[in-house]
Amino acid sequence: MENQNNIGEASTNQIIKQVINYWTDRNKAVTNFINKYPDDAYYKEVAPNRSRAIYLFGHLIAVNDALLPMFALGEKLFPEYDAIFLSVPDKSVADLPSLPELKKSWEKLNETLADHFNKMTANEWLDRHMSVSVEDFKHEPLRNKLNVLINRTNHQSYHLGQMILLNA
Amino acid sequence: MENQNNIGEASTNQIIKQVINYWTDRNKAVTNFINKYPDDAYYKEVAPNRSRAIYLFGHLIAVNDALLPMFALGEKLFPEYDAIFLSVPDKSVADLPSLPELKKSWEKLNETLADHFNKMTANEWLDRHMSVSVEDFKHEPLRNKLNVLINRTNHQSYHLGQMILLNA
């Protein structure tokens, strides 16, 4: 091996940083996509009879916003999005927030999460998230906050793959 | 904090395990999707004028297969897939391998990768991958094998999001 790392606290911190970096990278990919076309384009379905791009964008905001309470970092910034983008599929609600409004929410949420994530210690990342009980976590220590972030990063990639199909 | 972890070698190993677990989980999600419908269904495009599901499946095999040389674990198992699923978009090549053949390749590849991944040490995961030089890696230590796995897991999620749109 050319590079013999010292496995320990520093490597734990480094890997956590890598996971956060990739989360940030996928955030940026969504930001780039949503700023690529004129606003009107995002009101189209990504495929026939599937969700509109604007709905998927709002859905990502609602899902990512839930990280705040799940990580015990505070209340959701946009709890009103749940009834529009989380509990129901697209076209269930007549009036969506406008794209400019969603873009502002997205930016605000990403800044808020980044501020928290940059302050969180390795111990905090490896501690339980709020949807698992203290008792269950004793038996399932992988149900920690970092695992949720890995999951949500992939959730973002999943819907980005769909949004990118938009025939704008 | 309820659970004060001891941050060190054990936590490094745990996080690496979590990253591998999520990779395996997304492999399984692709496997489930590709076994969900009769074979014929996968020859349809996932959206109008977009890739067929069978192409995206072959593309995932070709991209994941490249992890073997990239991690210095050996040669690609299916180098012939590159010219069909990697260098060119869908419908460039007249005859694709059949879906049953691709399913076999997918299984074989996943088993091969899993065998290697389970044996790799934390030091190996945090060492450079073969597309970055020794010299560059000194300055960019995050360009390690684990980072590639995080990236490829998200790549899988991205295309799974597209495949799932298939109107089977």
Q: Nearest CA of chain B to the CA of A4: how many Å?
A: 6
Mean pLDDT, chain B, whole residue set: 95
- What pLDDT is attached to residue A142? 94
Q: Is the pLDDT of residue B128 over 50?
A: yes
pLDDT band for position A29 (50/70/90)?
very high
Mean pLDDT, chain A, whole residue set: 95
Q: Which of B7, B123, B142 sits opposite A12 (nearest CB)?
A: B7
B5 contacts A145 by C-beta, under 8 angstroms: no
What is the DSSP secondary structure assignment for residue B43, as one 8-state letter? Answer: G
All residues at 6 or more sequence positions from B67 whose CB lies less than 8 Å from its CB, including other chains: B73, B113, B148, B149, B152
- The answer to whether the CB atoms of A18 and B142 lie below 8 A apart is yes
> Which letter, b or e, does each residue of B133-153 get, where b requires 16 or more Cβ atoms within 10 Å of its Cβ?
eeeebeeebebbbbbbbbebb
> Per-residue pLDDT tens for A102-154?
999 999 999 999 999 999 999 999 999 999 999 999 999 999 999 999 999 99
Mean pLDDT for the stretch of residues B104-108: 98
Tell me the C-alpha distance between B124 and A2, whole Å.
10
- What pLDDT is attached to residue B109? 98
Q: Is the pLDDT of residue B127 over 70?
A: yes
Q: Is the pLDDT of residue A3 over 90?
A: no
ipTM of the complex: 0.95
- Residue spans of alpha helices (H) in B120-144: 122-125, 134-139
A78 contacts A109 by C-beta, under 8 angstroms: yes
Q: Is the pLDDT of residue A62 over 90?
A: yes
State which residue of chain B sits closest to A5, comparing Cα positions: B123
Q: Is the pLDDT of residue B4 over 80?
A: no
Q: Is the pLDDT of residue B100 over 90?
A: yes
- What pLDDT is attached to residue B85? 98
> Quick one: tokens of B42?
């996968």
A7-11, A143-147, B147-151: least confidently modelled range: A7-11
List, as one string, the DSSP characters of B107-118.
HHHHHHHHHHHH
Tell me the C-alpha distance between B7 and B14, whole Å.
10
pTM over 0.90: yes
- What pLDDT is attached to residue B168? 86
Mean pLDDT for the stretch of residues A7-31: 96
Residue B34 CA, chain-centre distance (Å), reads: 15
> Which letter, b or e, does each residue of A110-124 get, where b requires 16 or more Cβ atoms within 10 Å of its Cβ?
bebbeeebeebebeb
pLDDT band for position B113 (50/70/90)?
very high
Contacts of B122 in chain A (CB under 8 A): 5, 7, 11
Q: Which of B2, B7, B127 sits opposite A2 (nearest CB)?
A: B127
Mean pLDDT for the stretch of residues B37-57: 97
Give the position of tokens 């089977």: B168
